[in-house]
């Protein structure tokens, strides 16, 4: 069904004509990809979207049913969001079309079901563009490192957070100012919650865990923490420790069948690959039992790199032999835990008075947490004094219990901020 027969180009429909969709159309209409032919474009309010550089033979429509019933082999979905994209993708598969999507939320929440439908019909669903934009990391994990057993994935998967945190680092500006700059530069949306609070990275992490670690997890089971409480002073203290701060998504396959998975801001060494990520770059590092560590980095966002990933998936389906239908394998979701065992950085902001450090260290001692050091930089006001304790390795859940005890005291001006330190 999907194979080019005697040199006829494979017919392709495009759903969504926003930034990514337009970049996809540009590549498909560039003359560089003779094996595939764009035949349909769907968008709401399609009349205002029409452009003159698309061949006249292309059918424009604002009716999704036109795509589901079209005479095409491959449907590209770059509309985004779970509904109605889910219904359209499912409909396309059920009517015998393979699908290429850039939709991380769709694949994180419904990927297992959609892949099962495709398998049962001998079709394909490909979704390289849903993770890390222009970096072909899913293919690398699934095929390029197939000869290894991957046990850990760490990544900087959200370009908005990467942009904001590296601006805070390099310019010593506040979170609010960095967010405003990101919005102005087009790196953050008007409602940036999905990026800042970790849902975007969690969806990507769920996809990577399923493909790379071969352990599907429910995206809702992944613990996330927001980068919003990070302050400029945290970068000053991090630098004292040879570190900076990044939003890190991390998953590992545990021997007991569970998956450790979490997304949160963390201290990373300035000298590490994670510390060196700047701008809106993405980074994925994987560790296998045989081959050790491999890293992939590149543009994580933007219409063009994402469009390249989409078109590469289209070509991969167009060039592959058709595959026989296969029985759907029931997806087993793995149990997820998110309790980091790591050294920690804890920043307190207090109205200074005698006995504060004593009360904090007493709480740590009560929970068996060892202090590695205390850092207090000069020149802060006494009524809003930030200082930091660094702690030896302990489970995050234990630290949270200790901090809940500390939080009862009246000297806090800002709630304590705990960040794991990744070596």
Write each residue from 133 to 152 as x if it is in contact with a second copy (CB under 8 A), else as -, in one continuous string: -xxx--xx--xxxxxxx---
Does 310 bind a second copy (CB under 8 A)? Our answer is yes
d(CA 63, CA 340): 47
- Contacts of residue 35, Cβ cutoff 8 Å, sequence gap at least 6: 4, 9, 10, 315, 318, 319
Return the range that interacts with a second copy (CB under 8 A); candidates 21-29, 74-82, 178-186, 245-253.
Answer: 21-29
Whichever of 128 and 396 has its CB closer to a second copy, that residue is 128
Write each residue from 69 to 108 as x if it is in contact with a second copy (CB under 8 A), else as -, in one continuous string: ----------------------------------------
Work out which of 192, 216, 265, 305 binds a second copy, going by CB under 8 A.
305
Whichever of 87 and 171 has its CB closer to a second copy, that residue is 171
C-alpha distance from residue 410 to each of 354, 405, 407, 418 (Å): 13, 12, 8, 19
Minimum distance of a second copy from residue 400's CB (angstroms):
35
C-alpha distance from residue 249 to each of 112, 209, 389 (Å): 21, 11, 24
Does 294 bind a second copy (CB under 8 A)? Our answer is yes
Minimum distance of a second copy from residue 289's CB (angstroms):
8
φ, ψ dihedrals at 251, nearest 5°:
-140, 140
Q: What is the DSSP letter of 142?
A: I
Work out which of 299, 349, 389, 390 binds a second copy, going by CB under 8 A.
299
- Residues 205, 158: contact at Cβ < 8 Å? no
Work out which of 201, 238, 311, 363 binds a second copy, going by CB under 8 A.
311
Return the range that interacts with a second copy (CB under 8 A); candidates 19-27, 173-181, 185-193, 253-261.
Answer: 19-27
Whichever of 314 and 391 has its CB closer to a second copy, that residue is 314
Instruction: Name which of residues 259 to 288 contact a second copy (CB under 8 A).
Output: 273, 276, 288
Minimum distance of a second copy from residue 59's CB (angstroms):
22
Q: Are strands 98-101 and 259-269 parallel, antiparallel or unpaired?
A: unpaired
Burial of 9 (0-12, 13-18, 19+ CB in 10 A): middle
- Contacts of residue 18, Cβ cutoff 8 Å, sequence gap at least 6: 43, 78, 80
Minimum distance of a second copy from residue 277's CB (angstroms):
11
Nearest to 308 by CA among 116, 129, 167, 126: 129
Centroid of chain to Cα 163:
14
Count interface residues toward a second copy (CB under 8 A): 47
Does 297 bind a second copy (CB under 8 A)? Our answer is yes
The residues pairing with 266 across neighbouring beta strands, listed in sequence order, are: 246
d(CA 77, CA 84): 11
Does 315 bind a second copy (CB under 8 A)? Our answer is yes
Minimum distance of a second copy from residue 302's CB (angstroms):
8
Work out which of 95, 183, 312, 376 binds a second copy, going by CB under 8 A.
312
Minimum distance of a second copy from residue 48's CB (angstroms):
25
Instruction: Name which of residues 235 to 264 contact a second copy (CB under 8 A).
Output: none
- Contacts of residue 91, Cβ cutoff 8 Å, sequence gap at least 6: 64, 68
Which residues are known to be catalytic? 204
Work out which of 7, 292, 330, 368 binds a second copy, going by CB under 8 A.
292
Q: Using CA atoms of 298, 302, 304, 306 in order, give the dihedral in degrees to the nearest 10.
A: 70
Whichever of 304 and 361 has its CB closer to a second copy, that residue is 304
- Residues 28, 53: contact at Cβ < 8 Å? no
Return the range that interacts with a second copy (CB under 8 A); candidates 29-37, 90-98, 222-230, 413-421.
Answer: 29-37
d(CA 138, CA 211): 7
Q: Are strands 292-299 and 281-288 parallel, antiparallel or unpaired?
A: antiparallel
Query: Applying CB under 8 A, which residues contact a second copy?
Result: 23, 26-27, 30, 32-33, 128, 134-136, 139-140, 143-149, 273, 276, 288, 290-299, 302, 304-305, 307-316, 321, 323
């Amino acid at each position: 069904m999907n194979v080019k027969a005697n040199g006829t180009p494979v017919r392709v429909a495009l759903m969504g004509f926003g930034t990514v969709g337009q970049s996809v159309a540009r590549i498909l209409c560039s003359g560089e990809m003779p094996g595939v032919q764009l035949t349909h474009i769907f968008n709401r309010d399609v009349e205002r979207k029409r452009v003159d550089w698309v061949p006249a033979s292309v059918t424009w429509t604002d009716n999704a049913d036109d795509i589901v019933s079209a005479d095409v082999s491959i449907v590209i979905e770059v509309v985004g969001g779970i509904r109605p994209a889910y219904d359209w993708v499912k409909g396309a598969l059920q009517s015998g079309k393979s699908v290429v999507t850039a939709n991380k939320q769709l694949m994180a929440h419904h990927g297992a079901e959609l892949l099962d439908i495709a398998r049962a019909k001998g079709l394909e669903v490909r979704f390289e563009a849903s993770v890390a934009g222009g970096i072909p990391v899913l293919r690398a994990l699934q095929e390029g490192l197939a000869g290894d057993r991957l046990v850990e994935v760490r990544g900087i998967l959200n370009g908005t957070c990467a942009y904001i945190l590296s601006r805070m680092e390099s310019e010593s500006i506040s979170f609010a100012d960095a967010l405003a700059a990101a919005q102005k530069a087009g790196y953050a949306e008007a409602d940036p919650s999905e990026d800042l609070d970790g849902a975007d990275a969690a969806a990507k992490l769920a996809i990577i865990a399923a493909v790379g670690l071969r352990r599907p997890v429910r995206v809702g089971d992944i613990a996330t923490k927001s980068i919003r409480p990070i302050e400029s002073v945290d970068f000053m203290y991090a630098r004292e420790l040879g570190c900076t701060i990044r939003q890190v998504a991390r998953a590992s396959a545990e021997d007991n069948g569970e998956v450790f998975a979490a997304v949160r801001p963390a201290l990373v060494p300035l000298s590490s690959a994670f510390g060196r990520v700047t701008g809106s770059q993405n980074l994925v590092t994987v560790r296998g039992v045989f081959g050790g560590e491999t890293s992939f980095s590149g543009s994580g966002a933007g219409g063009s790199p994402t469009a390249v990933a989409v078109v590469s998936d289209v070509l991969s389906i167009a060039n592959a032999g058709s595959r026989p239908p296969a029985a759907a394998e029931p997806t087993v979701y793995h149990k997820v835990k998110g309790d980091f065992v790591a050294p920690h950085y804890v920043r307190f902001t207090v109205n200074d008075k005698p006995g504060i450090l004593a009360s904090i260290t007493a709480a740590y001692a009560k929970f068996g947490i060892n202090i590695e050091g205390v850092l207090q930089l000069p020149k802060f006001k006494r009524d809003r004094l930030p200082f930091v304790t660094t702690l030896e390795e302990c489970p995050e859940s234990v630290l949270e219990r200790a901090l809940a005890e500390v939080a009862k005291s009246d000297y806090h001006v800002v709630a304590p901020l705990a960040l794991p330190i990744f070596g």
